[in-house]
C-alpha cells in the first residue's frame, strides 16, 4: 500500500506553497504526498482520518506567545494561521497514534504542540558558544555534525554515533515535551533531533534531509524510508 502523507505548507498572502524537495522525498519512497491547507475550519478531523502520516515542513518563525513568551527583538516573521492549524493537526495526529516527521520549523512546532518550548533566537538566548547554524553553503551540503543518542530510533536508522547535516535555522527546541527524548545534539549542545517514547514514530529533526537527498545522502534516505514504513504499518 502506498500511504497518504499530509505535507504542511507555507502561507504568504493568498498563496500556499511547499518546496518541491519535500513532495519529491515522499514520492521517492512510495508515499503519496498531499499538500495541506492552513485553515482551522478545513475539516481537521477528516484530514487526520484520511492521511497515514504527517510531514511538517520548514518555514518561518513561530509565535512565542504559544509557549508563554513575548516576542524577542530577533524574532522573524510569523504566520498565525499556520501556527494554529499545525498545532491542532499535530495534537490530533498524536491522539490517533499516527506517524509524524517534523523538519526544522516542523520540529519546533511539534515540540510546542506537545508541550515543549524553544529558543526564539539561539544566538541571543543560548548560553553556549555556538556553531554556525545558518550555513553559507548550498542546501545539499552537510556542514556540521550531529551526535546521536544510543538506543533511539535515530540511532537505529543512522547506524553511526555521529554524522553531518545541513543547517538553516536561528530557532531551535530548548526543552523537549514530556514523553519525548533527545536523540541527537550538535557539538555545541543545540538539540538537533528528538522523538516520542510513546509512539511508534514521531520524530523532529532540525536539519533538512529532503535537501540532502539531492546528493543521495544515505542517512536522509533511511529517515524517510523509516517514516514511510511507519505510515504503512
69 is catalytic: no
Give dist(CA 196, CA 183) in Å, integer: 10
210 is catalytic: yes
The one catalytic residue in 104, 133, 169, 195 is 104
Beta bridge partners of 62: none
pLDDT tens for the chain, residues 1 to 233? 899 999 999 988 888 899 999 999 999 999 999 999 988 776 899 999 999 999 999 999 999 999 999 999 999 999 999 999 999 999 999 999 999 999 999 999 999 999 999 999 999 999 888 998 999 999 999 999 999 999 999 999 999 999 999 999 999 999 999 999 999 999 999 999 999 999 999 999 999 999 999 999 999 999 999 999 999 98
Reduced to 3 states, what is the DSSP secondary structure of residue 203? strand
Domains recognised in the chain with CATH numbers: 4-232 (3.40.50.880)
Q: What are phi and psi of 203, to 5 degrees?
A: -135, 140
Number of Cβ within 10 Å of residue 76's Cβ equals 13
Give dist(CA 194, CA 67) in Å, integer: 18
Reduced to 3 states, what is the DSSP secondary structure of residue 157? helix
Q: Quick check: 163 and 148 in contact, CB under 8 A?
A: yes
The one catalytic residue in 86, 192, 195, 210 is 210
Amino acid at each position: 500500500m502506498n500511504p497518504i502523507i499530509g505535507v504542511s505548507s507555507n502561507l504568504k498572502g493568498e498563496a500556499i506553497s511547499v518546496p518541491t524537495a519535500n513532495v519529491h522525498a515522499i514520492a521517492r519512497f512510495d508515499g503519496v504526498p498531499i499538500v495541506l491547507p492552513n485553515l482551522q475550519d478545513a475539516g481537521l478531523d477528516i484530514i487526520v482520518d484520511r492521511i497515514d502520516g504527517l510531514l511538517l515542513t520548514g518555514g518561518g518563525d513561530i509565535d512565542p506567545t504559544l509557549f508563554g513568551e513575548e516576542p524577542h527583538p530577533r524574532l522573524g516573521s510569523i504566520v498565525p494561521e499556520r501556527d494554529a492549524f499545525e498545532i491542532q493537526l499535530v495534537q490530533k495526529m498524536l491522539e490517533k497514534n499516527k506517524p509524524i516527521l517534523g523538519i526544522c520549523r516542523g520540529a519546533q512546532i511539534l515540540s510546542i504542540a506537545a508541550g515543549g518550548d524553544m529558543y526564539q533566537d539561539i544566538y541571543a538566548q543560548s548560553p553556549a558558544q555556538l556553531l554556525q547554524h545558518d550555513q553559507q553553503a548550498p542546501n545539499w551540503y552537510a556542514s556540521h555534525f550531529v551526535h546521536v543518542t544510543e538506543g533511539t530510533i535515530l540511532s537505529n536508522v543512522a547506524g553511526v554515533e555521529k554524522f553531518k547535516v545541513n543547517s538553516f535555522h536561528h530557532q531551535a527546541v530548548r526543552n523537549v515535551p514530556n514523553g519525548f527524548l533527545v536523540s541527537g545534539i550538535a557539538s555545541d549542545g543545540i538539540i538537533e533531533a528528538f522523538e516520542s517514547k510513546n509512539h511508534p514514530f514521531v520524530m523532529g529533526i532540525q536539519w533538512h534531509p529532503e535537501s540532502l537527498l539531492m546528493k543521495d545522502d544515505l542517512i536522509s534516505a533511511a529517515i524517510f524510508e523509516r517514516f514511510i514504513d511507519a505510515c504503512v504499518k
